[in-house]
DNA sequence: CGCGACCTTGAAATGAATCAAGTCCCGTGG
DNA sequence: CCACGGGACTTGATTCATTTCAAGGTCGCG
């Protein structure tokens, strides 16, 4: 995140949905001006979280859906024993909190990875508006569906046998998301820790660390702590398919 | 699946949503009699698929959501190279096809694991009804949300370091789902192949096969081809937490 | 009755986890 | 402003679970 972004945020915070830079990515996509104004009225408040700040916890009553406006968050579940599984990393324009719709309680925790600002969409009001604006209803469904598709990508990534493939796919998909945000997809800022990345992929830290080193040696990346530059997108794309050049056995379900 | 079930299916097929044995699990849960009749009118047809039959393919235009009425299906994605990742196995009462809402095209393939019957909910009509019946709208959202939560379970399972833990969790969750269907949760019928299970968990067949053998040796299971009996649910629950008795290092994200 | 898909089992190879140091960086407090 | 401390990260050596390779067995079906 460039320092300039933080400065701009102050202005962004004062804007409404209709003028939000994210409105193509966020809920309102494809909704007309009049309806947009009504949606804007339901956005309760636009709060900020510091790094490590918790947006909601597992078990919290469901009050709202949340749109990441700037910064980034992680969502994760934890079992009784404290074992954690990270479910996702969330960039601006992404909506989180859907898991609470099922039971009216959140089934995961959301935590800021850096100073982030969030739009809160109180569900009661959202429901009111969606019932009045059918287009918004359809749009909301579409957004949840996107969430489902996104999780499929996570599953595909985790299903890979080679750790290097997994990390390559992770970086590639992060780059893709950057570009959708009009950011430079080659210059990634990994706001999450190496532990987070490892957990997200089902690996241990040491493996992730070694893979970054290896990919740097191969000339694919330039790694500088949290700053990762993709030097050879073509090679990275290759790694997404093959852990190493030689064709490898796949586990194609019968 | 006991043979008796197949006989009963013929009767089930003639029934409507309001009298369906699954209506507690399926979409209509919590909807009143009058509204139920209207929903029933939108169920276009109740088709059957043979083993291996395809309900929808990746890229197919989105026409409907589908409720599994009897039997079982798998959903999966395939990349250009033919690598497969199984996303889920679906039992009666479960609704599939949500991934198509985002782009109006299916983003996965659904295939029957045995002779199965399916309720088709054409989306155009469903939209009509949900706009008239707010309760159904809320219910539909709740069902999609359940799908999201379900996928989180899949991710948690895949994130485990020990293959034995993964398989144990898989069997445990299958047993739980059986019980929700009023079936004997100790007597599982694995309609999917060992290849499918392996792929679902991100393992290779041989590993899964060995794990079944090992769990049988341990006295946890009785394995007889597709029929698996859980002899010691307590031990199975232990295995869900620990690959082996000794406490093991976890990867708890920082 | 034999073929083929599915499954199991064994032996060997290997990639990731584990164990163990050591370094770097950043925030804190002197 | 610098020293200190602790968490995050990296790297090396070793262990070990799972994959890979190979072969044989079983079952259902033509």
Residues B79, B125: one domain?
yes
**Does B151 reside within a domain?**
no
In a domain? residue B193: yes
Domain boundary among B98, B117, B134: B134
Chain segment A26-49, per-residue pLDDT in tens: 766 666 667 666 666 666 667 899
Partners of residue B228 on adjacent β-strands: B188, B223
- Residue with minimal CA–C1' distance to D20 is A249
To the nearest 5 percent, what fractions of chain B are helix, strand and coil? Answer: 45, 20, 35
Among B134, B149, B177, give the residue marking a domain's end.
B134
| Bridge partners, A240 (sequence order) | none
Per-residue flag: A189 CB under 7 A of strand C: no
Q: What CATH number did the domain enclosing B167 receive?
A: 1.10.10.10
Distance B108 CA to D20 C1' (A): 29
Average pLDDT on A58-66 reads: 95
| Cα B90 from Cα B68, distance rounded (Å) | 7
CA–CA separation, B24 vs B20, rounded Å? 9
In a domain, A151, yes or no: no
- Could you report the per-residue pLDDT of A75-116, keeping only the tens digit for each? 999 998 889 999 999 999 899 999 999 999 999 999 999 999
Based on the fold, state whether residues B112 and B74 are members of the same structural domain: yes
A16 within some domain: yes
Residues A105, A209: one domain?
no
B-contacting residues of A 66-125, CB under 8 Å?
74, 76-77, 79, 81-87, 98-103, 107-108
Q: Which of residues A43 and A217 earns the better pLDDT score?
A: A217
Closest C-alpha among B105, B4, B160, B193 to residue A83: B160
- Asked whether the beta carbons of A56 and A37 are under 8 A apart, the reply is no
If 0-12 CB within 10 Å is exposed, 13-18 middle and 19+ buried, where does residue A162 land?
middle
Same domain, A128 and A8: yes
* Residue A151 Cα, gap to closest chain B Cα (Å): 7
* CA A155 to the chain's CA centroid: 15
Q: In angstroms, rounded to a whole number, what is the distance separating the alpha carbons of residues B48 and B112? A: 9
In a domain, A152, yes or no: no
Q: How confident is the model at residue B24 (pLDDT cuts 50, 70, 90)?
A: low
CATH number, domain at A38? 2.60.120.10
Q: Specify the number of domains making up chain B.
A: 2
Mean pLDDT (whole number) for B116-133: 86
The domain containing residue A37 runs over which residues?
Answer: 4-134
Residue bearing tokens 């009425």: B69
> B15 with B116, same domain?
yes
Do residue B128 and residue B173 come from a single domain?
no
Check whether residue B9 and residue B123 sit in a common domain.
yes
Q: Are residues A194 and A99 in the same domain?
A: no
The answer to whether the predicted template modeling score (pTM) of the entire model surpasses 0.75 is: yes
Residues 47-76 of A with CB under 8 A from B: 74, 76
Residue A123 resides in a domain = yes
- Is residue A141 scored above 70 in pLDDT? yes
Is residue B247 in a domain?
no
Return residues 165-224 of B near A (CB < 8 Å): 193, 195-196, 198-200, 202-205
């Amino acid at each position: 995140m460039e320092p300039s972004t933080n400065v701009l945020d102050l202005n962004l915070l004062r804007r409404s949905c209709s003028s939000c830079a994210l409105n193509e990515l966020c809920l309102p996509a494809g909704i007309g001006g009049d309806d947009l104004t009504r949606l804007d009225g339901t956005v309760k408040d636009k709060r900020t979280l510091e790094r490590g700040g918790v947006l909601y916890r597992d078990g919290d009553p469901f009050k709202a859906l949340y749109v990441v406006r700037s910064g980034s968050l992680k969502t994760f579940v934890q079992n009784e024993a404290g074992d954690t599984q990270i479910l996702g990393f969330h960039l601006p324009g992404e909506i989180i909190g859907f898991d609470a719709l099922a039971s009216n309680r959140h089934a995961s925790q959301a935590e800021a990875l850096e100073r982030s600002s969030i739009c809160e969409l109180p569900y009661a009001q959202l429901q009111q508006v969606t019932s009045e604006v059918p287009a918004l209803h359809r749009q909301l469904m579409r957004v949840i569906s996107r969430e489902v598709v996104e999780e499929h990508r996570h599953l595909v990534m985790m299903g890979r046998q080679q750790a290097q493939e997994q990390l390559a796919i992770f970086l590639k998909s992060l780059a893709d998301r950057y570009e959708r945000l009009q950011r430079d997809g080659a210059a990634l800022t990994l706001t999450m820790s190496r532990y987070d990345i490892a957990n997200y992929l089902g690996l241990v830290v040491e493996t992730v660390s070694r893979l970054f080193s290896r990919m740097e040696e191969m000339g694919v990346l330039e790694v500088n702590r949290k700053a990762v530059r993709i030097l050879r997108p073509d090679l990275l794309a290759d790694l997404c398919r093959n852990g190493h050049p030689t064709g490898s056995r796949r586990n194609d379900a019968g």
